[in-house]
Amino acid sequence: MILTVIIFVLAYIFIATEKFPRHWVALIGGGLLIVFGILSPKEAFGYINWETLGLLAGMFTLVSILEEAGFFKWLAMRALKKFDYHPVSLFVILIVFAAIMSMFMDSITVMLFLSALTLQLGRLLKLDPVPLVIAEVCAANTGGSATLVGDPPNVILGTTLGFNFTDFATHTGPISLIASLLLLGMFYLTNRKALKNAHDLLNEETINEIEELHKEPMHAHMTRIGLTFFAFAVFLLIFHTPLSRALGFHINAAMAALIPAALALIFMQNNDRKKTLLKVDGESILFFAGLFVLIGGLEKMQLFEQLAISLSNWAADDHGAMVMALHWVPGLASGIVDNVPLALGMSYVLKDLAQMPGAPALALMVWSLALGVNLGGNLTPIGASANVVAYSFMEKNHGSIGWKRWLTVAVPPTLAIMIFASFSVLFKGQIGWF
């Protein structure tokens, strides 16, 4: 276990310094676990979530098609004109959109689309897009905590412990909604000066200059293909479970993204197909693969289970302390390790805790844990899948962000909404509504 933790911590430090390509650091770290016999090659491949990688590959391809077609430039111009070039209106709408859409579809898909759109809007308005993208990520993770299908940890906890869509919408939904509004207010307050400066720079001459620079037409054929199959992918991602039952074979999230992406490429011309594939972010896919292996090493050493059992022993006689421990310890830990395996490990612990005499109600523990790991995932660029996707896209297409800046922007509002969520769960426990 000690060697596994050392390898993980060193890899984490190298990733955070950003002096080395993070996909190579993650892959080398995962490789060292195999070299030292901590994981066999078969185990390492088993810990990789191929469904997530397939989802990423498919959605990256579809977004690349739309980007190559000039769709995001066109959409940015339409949004600017719709809201009369007002930065504050766009700021509010994009954050609200991120939170609402992530309630019903994977936040990875939401942030792939929004990162590209926000970058275009930032360039047009001469506004730094980085704070807005970080705000959108936080809103996506927060909004996603409202429903069973919004964030991957909710899917794991719901399916493992027997809670359905209505349960999450009823109990985490209102807390998530208010937390999203708190985020919006805090991010507006910290960015109001930059938004005002961007608005002050706008005049008729500047607006005409923006419109002249972006009169380049969209590639009509590629846009039709991209939008058609992107919509098809979103449809499959939302309804793949009932479709699987109706059709008699399993359609997972990877198939929901890869099938539309493959069909889209088939309908494209050779030259356009090559340009699109060259823009697909393969480095992020490799980074995820390495990260899954690194976290798999911690999971094999049962680090998550041991941590959770220690917490349960510490707070066994105090319901409030137990509920808070399940919110804060996994929540803060999810900023360091991906919240998906963390939620998986904790789900087994909750099963055992529910059988213990005098333990808090299982439902109350689930709501506390779900909100903790989902909101805590905002803390760092690798706390949740949506973070990695948005961070990688911005670094590739905009420039270096750096962990220091992410932490500066994301940590204060994240801690604030985690405090709000923890008190909300305690209140639910007091009134018996859980």
Average confidence (pLDDT) over 23-37: 92
78: in domain: yes
Question: What's the pLDDT score for residue 358?
Answer: 63
Continuous segment of H or E residues that includes residue 133: helix 130-144
For residue 356, give the 3-state DSSP assignment.
coil
> 399 — phi, psi (to 5°)?
140, 175
User: Please, which pLDDT band fits residue 23 given cuts at 50, 70 and 90?
Assistant: confident
- Comparison of pLDDT for 345 and 181, the residue scoring more: 181
pLDDT at 308 over 70: no
Q: Do 89 and 199 contact (CB within 8 A), yes or no?
A: no
What was the pLDDT predicted at 197?
A: 84
Which has the minimum average pLDDT: 89-103, 286-300, 312-326?
A: 312-326
Confidence (pLDDT) at 285: 84
Q: Is residue 124 part of a domain?
A: yes
Whether 202 is in a domain gets the answer: yes
* Residue 43 pLDDT class (50, 70, 90 cuts): very high
307-330: average pLDDT? 76
How sure is the predictor about 419, in pLDDT bands with cuts at 50, 70 and 90? very high
**Residue with the larger pLDDT of the pair 400 and 7:** 7
Tell which residue, 343, 327, 262, has the closest CA to residue 295.
343
Range of the domain at 65: 50-149+175-283
Instruction: Give the separation between CA 325 and CA 318, rounded to whole angstroms.
Output: 10
Please, which pLDDT band fits residue 214 given cuts at 50, 70 and 90?
low
Token pair 């959409």 is found at 75
- Secondary structure (DSSP) of 48-102: S-HHHHHHHHHHHHHHHHHHHHTHHHHHHHHHHHHTTT-HHHHHHHHHHHHHHHT
Q: How confident is the model at residue 181 (pLDDT cuts 50, 70, 90)?
A: very high
Q: How many domains does the chain have?
A: 1
Residue 257 lies in a domain: yes
Query: CA torsion 351→353→354→358, rounded to 10°?
Result: 180
Give the confidence band of 411 by pLDDT, cuts at 50, 70, 90. Answer: very high
> Which value, to the nearest 10 degrees, does the dihedral of the CA atoms of residues 341, 345, 347, 353 take?
-160
Identify the pLDDT of residue 315.
61
Q: What is the mean pLDDT of residues 166-182?
A: 93
DSSP state of 197: H
Tokens matching residue 303: 């680090």
Whether the Cβ atoms of residue 365 and residue 397 lie closer than 8 Å to each other: no
State mean pLDDT over 318-340: 83
Segment 417-427 shows an average pLDDT of: 95
Confidence check: pLDDT of 281 > 90: no
Q: How far apart are CA 28 and CA 359, in angstroms?
A: 42
159 domain-assigned: no
**What percentage of the chain carries pLDDT values higher than 70?**
93
Neighbours of 92 (CB within 10 A): 16
Residue 203 has pLDDT above 80, yes or no: no
Residue 62 reports pLDDT greater than 80: yes
Name the residue among 227, 230, 206 with its Cα closest to residue 218. 227
Residue 367 lies in a domain: no
287-222-211 Cα angle (round to 5) = 95
Average pLDDT score, the chain: 85
The whole-model pTM stands at: 0.74
Instruction: Count how many Cα atoms sit within 13 Å of the Cα of residue 284 in the half-sphere of its side chain.
Output: 29
Supply the pLDDT for residue 326.
Answer: 87
Q: Tell whether 32 is covered by a domain.
A: no
Angle at 57 between CA 56 and CA 63, to 5 degrees: 85
Question: What's the Cα-to-Cα distance from 312 to each of 43, 191, 272, 331, 333, rounded to whole Å?
Answer: 29, 41, 56, 16, 16
Q: pLDDT tens digit string along 356-392?
A: 666 678 899 999 999 999 999 999 998 887 898 899 8
361 domain-assigned: no
